[in-house]
Amino acid sequence: MKDQRAFWTWFERNAERFRDVEVPDKEQLLDELLEALHGYCPHLWFETGRADDGCNELIISAEGDTSYFSAVRTLIAAAPQIAGWRFVAFKPGSGFDFDTCYEDVTFSPKATWFLPLRSSSDPSALGIRVGYAHYDQAREQTFLTGTFIMLECALGELALAEHVQHIEVVGLPSSPESSGYSPLPELADLLRGAVPNK
């Protein structure tokens, strides 16, 4: 990991070029930004665009890898003030009102259920069993990856990585409630209750 100031010096010089990335050479622009970010830490990624309030955002992510969360925090803590820009540590959560598709499988939080799992060796650790009516055992890895993407989008990168230690996917029982399952949107309430001062 290199000095974060070098990245911000570069970004300040180039910020104007990234205000609108919807241009013909978009891929080249984004590759250039990624190369500069990887010059600081090769394990970080980014998202950029214009928020609803008209402010440009640069979101720095470790893709859920807690080993590099400190690198994200260090970089954002050193961010300069640049008019029209907002710098955000970790992908924020957007709630549960969306559908997403991964490898031709649709993941819909409102149609998904979960069962909390507790470890006898570490009672403070939370795991979740996520149940799908359309689950296909032959595509377990697709469902696992799609579930991670869905949860990260719903809860946010930080909340998912810090508070959910284990995820497994299964077919949904015919009577999920009587089997102890809850609708997936209730997971946010569970995490708030499990995390002090939140």
Strand partners, 107: 100
- Same domain for 45 and 119, yes or no, is no
Query: Does any domain span residue 22?
Result: yes
Q: Is 198 among the domain residues?
A: no
194 has pLDDT over 70: no
| Beta pairing partners, 39 | none
CB burial readout 135-169, b (16+ within 10 A) else e: eeeeeeeebebbbbebbbbbbbbbbbbebbeebeb
Q: What is the pLDDT of residues 131-190, one digit of tens each?
A: 999 999 999 999 999 999 999 999 999 999 989 999 999 999 999 999 999 999 999 998
pLDDT in tens, 50-90: 888 989 999 999 999 999 999 999 999 999 999 999 999 99
Do 11 and 74 lie in one domain? The reply is: yes
Is residue 149 in a domain?
Answer: yes
Judge whether 94 lies within some domain: no
108 and 37 in a common domain: no
Count how many domains the chain has.
2
- Single out the residue in 60, 89, 118 at which a domain terminates: 89
Are both 85 and 123 inside the same structural domain? no
Q: Same structural domain for residues 112 and 182? A: yes
Rounded to two decimals, the pTM is 0.82
Range of the domain at 30: 4-89
Q: Return the H-helix or E-strand segment holding 118.
A: strand 113-118
